[in-house]
Amino acid sequence: MAQRSIERGRRQVPLPNWLAGRLGVGRAVLHTPDDPAEDRALIARSLAFLFLAGATLSVVWLMLPHEQRTEDPGVIAMTAGAYAVGLLLFFGFDHLPQWVLKGSVTAATVVITGAIFSNHENGSVYVFFYLWATVYAFSYFTLRQALLQTAFVGVAFGAVLFIQRDVWQEEWARWLMVIGSTMAAGLLVRFLTGTLRHRSLHDPLTGLANRTLYLKKLDEALAVTDEDERPPSVAVLFLDLDGFKYVNDSLGHHVGDGLLTAVGDRLRATARPDDLTARFGGDEFALLCRDVDDEADALSIGQRINEALTEGFQVGDHELHISASVGVSISGTGGCDSGTLLRDADAAMYAAKARGRARCELFGDSLRQKMVERLEIENELRPALERDQFEIHYQPIVTLEDRHIVGVEALVRWRHPVRGLISPGDFIPIAEDTGLIVPIGRMVLYRACVQLAAWDASGGPLAGISLSVNLSARQLPHGELLANLDTALARARIAPDRLTLELTESILMDEESGPAETLAALRRRGVRLSLDDFGTGYSSLSYLQRFALDELKLDRSFVSGLGHGGSEDAITGAVLALAGALGVPVVAEGIEHEHQAQTLRRLGAQHGQGYLFARPALPDELERSLGGQPEMRLLAS
């Protein structure tokens, strides 16, 4: 089915492939110009070339030893005019208003017709003017106007040929040929214009509308008001396929393209006949629905799409399953423009992704509120860094055997003057987006190292423990990281092997950021590396070996399901056994209950971290909670 669709996509350009490629239309060119003006300019340039070539030919013709032709100042003026207009078109097309261009065509046609009627003998220049005018008219006038113009001049020719048949005699056949070939050229240019315009407004792979056409139609739909001048009710549905990248990466772009085409077909079939289906690029699609009753109506369209996609896709030999996260925004509350609608649908789509994918979310009040909050956090983050509003809490990591503290994980918090303590989950992703994670991460690393040195110096219960610090993807490609690390370790006088940097799977998977090089440099310094949140991502143990990691942190999601006699125990047991076989020690995160700690210990985990032992706390609170057994480093329970 998908293969057929691809074929159909190819057939949208009714030209053989070799010609389409040469002309720059159709599948041979995969990029799509965003602006139809590009096509206009392209055609105008070819016309200008045509016109200049025509004028050159007419000069040659004028110079031939014909009766008095070279001496005719009118003809010379015309030829010079032809050059001037050609150059004007060539260089000035982008800047000249449409009416000047159309006006010049009309003027040229009138001049030629007048000249023919006055039976001017030196017809060549006029023929070329005519050639230009006609081809031009076919490109930029409506088909009716262009045909009318051709007919108009054709009738003039006919009349002259008839009245002056003695003078024209052998010439008439040549003139008729000129008229015929000019019309053919005009029609060809018109066809190419249509193809180019179609290409500039459609996605070459799926044949769906592209973003430019979608925006145009959305603007048009929003401009229409009903008899009571009420604003239109338009819904924008924005779709992003879940996990499409994996299809592309694992099965190749050819299969990826086939899947996109099949999804495009499915969407078109699911949408109502009046809806516009578009592909914005990559795995992003959009639907434009007019006459939507209310939010529930819009949501039901989104849900219908989700349902339609649950049925698998046959792409070549592969049976593929894919879902989409759909974001919906609707107009109707007034003051809605296309940009806002799209932005809101985009935000709703991200919310759908965050809430587990394969679902549809509406951009409503709560999402709007969240976006406002996000924007506030974004704006306040930098000043917060300057005003030193961040603090670092430390959560102990203990041995499951006898609950000794072997280390702490540094966890950053934002002490907001109004909102109180903000947890990292609420600002780290924003800091990552804005790049502020780099200075924040630098600060955390430095302060945590200094704190570790202070515990060492105090000779208290926490002297000699190890320190774990989280690292974001954004910090990794930064050359600064290594320098910061060296500075922090040197200033705090800490041996590198007492520091563990926690990385998530997504960092390791991101080949582009080149983690391997930085990780190798970190390892050379003797710093330990840990795989954080194992079980939330791909859960591939291969990273442990590939990057020679020193530790695995089993995510809370693994731990929370333990001890109910379900399959979780078996899966966790298998992961722990594999890690054990690879010689990589495991820290189990988020242990809240005694039975979890017992089970994990039985299954072979060495270390644990969680509320059962201690919550993250400021250094002095942590020291206080250890008050009872300083030497043993045991937590007071």
Q: Which residues bind ligand C2E (CB under 6 A)?
A: 395, 411-412, 423-425, 428, 437, 441, 444, 470-472, 502, 532-533, 556, 589-592, 609-611, 616
Q: According to CB under 5 A, which one of 200, 331, 466, 470 is a site residue for Mg ion?
A: 470
Residue 604, Cβ neighbours under 10 Å: how many? 16
Part in contact with Mg ion (CB under 5 A); list of ranges 171-179, 362-370, 524-532, 557-565:
524-532
Could you tell me how many residues of this chain bind Mg ion (CB under 5 A)?
5
Q: Which is nearer to Mg ion, 502 or 550 (CB)?
A: 502
Part in contact with Mg ion (CB under 5 A); list of ranges 159-167, 202-210, 350-358, 469-477:
469-477
Closest distance of CB 503 from ligand C2E, Å: 10
Closest distance of CB 515 from Mg ion, Å: 17
Closest distance of CB 481 from ligand C2E, Å: 12
Q: Which is nearer to ligand C2E, 359 or 404 (CB)?
A: 404
Straight-line distance from the first to the last Cα atom of the chain, in angstroms, rounded to the nearest whole number: 64
- Type of residue found at 414: W
Q: Which is nearer to ligand C2E, 325 or 395 (CB)?
A: 395
Closest distance of CB 288 from ligand C2E, Å: 39
Q: Which is nearer to ligand C2E, 89 or 597 (CB)?
A: 597
> What is the per-residue binding string for Mg ion in 427-466, x denoting contact by CB under 5 A?
----------------------------------------
Q: Which does 425 bind (CB under 5 to 8 A by kind): Mg ion, ligand C2E, none?
A: ligand C2E
The helix (H) or strand (E) run that includes residue 118 is none
Q: What is the dihedral sign for C-alpha 68, 69, 74, 76?
A: negative
Closest distance of CB 580 from ligand C2E, Å: 22
Pull the structure tokens for residue 126: 């006029």
Distance CA 202, CA 198 (A): 6
Distance CA 555, CA 125 (A): 82
Q: According to CB under 5 A, which one of 275, 346, 533, 551 is a site residue for Mg ion?
A: 533
- Type of residue found at 295: E
Helix axes 143-163, 171-201, angle to 10 degrees: 180
The helix (H) or strand (E) run that includes residue 240 is strand 235-242
Concatenating the DSSP letter of every residue in 273-295 gives TT-EEEEEETTEEEEEE-S--SH
- Type of residue found at 81: G
- Is residue 532 a contact residue for Mg ion (CB under 5 A)? yes
Closest distance of CB 418 from ligand C2E, Å: 20
Closest distance of CB 368 from ligand C2E, Å: 25
Extract the runs of DSSP E, i.e. beta strands, from 471-547.
499-504, 528-534
Distance CA 302, CA 296 (A): 10
Closest distance of CB 414 from ligand C2E, Å: 10
Q: Which is nearer to Mg ion, 240 or 532 (CB)?
A: 532
> Are the C-beta atoms of residues 515 and 543 closer than 8 Å to each other?
no
Q: Which does 201 bind (CB under 5 to 8 A by kind): ligand C2E, Mg ion, none?
A: none
- Type of residue found at 627: G
Closest distance of CB 416 from ligand C2E, Å: 15
- Type of residue found at 578: L
> Are the C-beta atoms of residues 350 and 238 closer than 8 Å to each other?
no
Q: Which is nearer to Mg ion, 502 or 505 (CB)?
A: 502
- Is residue 500 a contact residue for Mg ion (CB under 5 A)? no
Part in contact with Mg ion (CB under 5 A); list of ranges 118-126, 273-281, 422-430, 586-594:
586-594
Distance CA 169, CA 490 (A): 101
> Are the C-beta atoms of residues 410 and 468 closer than 8 Å to each other?
yes
Distance CA 390, CA 414 (A): 4
Distance CA 149, CA 143 (A): 10
Q: Which is nearer to Mg ion, 378 or 391 (CB)?
A: 391
Q: Which does 428 bind (CB under 5 to 8 A by kind): ligand C2E, Mg ion, none?
A: ligand C2E
The residue with tokens 């008729």 is 176
Q: Which is nearer to ligand C2E, 40 or 442 (CB)?
A: 442
Q: Which is nearer to ligand C2E, 447 or 498 (CB)?
A: 447
Binding-site ranges for Mg ion (CB under 5 A): 470, 502, 532-533, 589
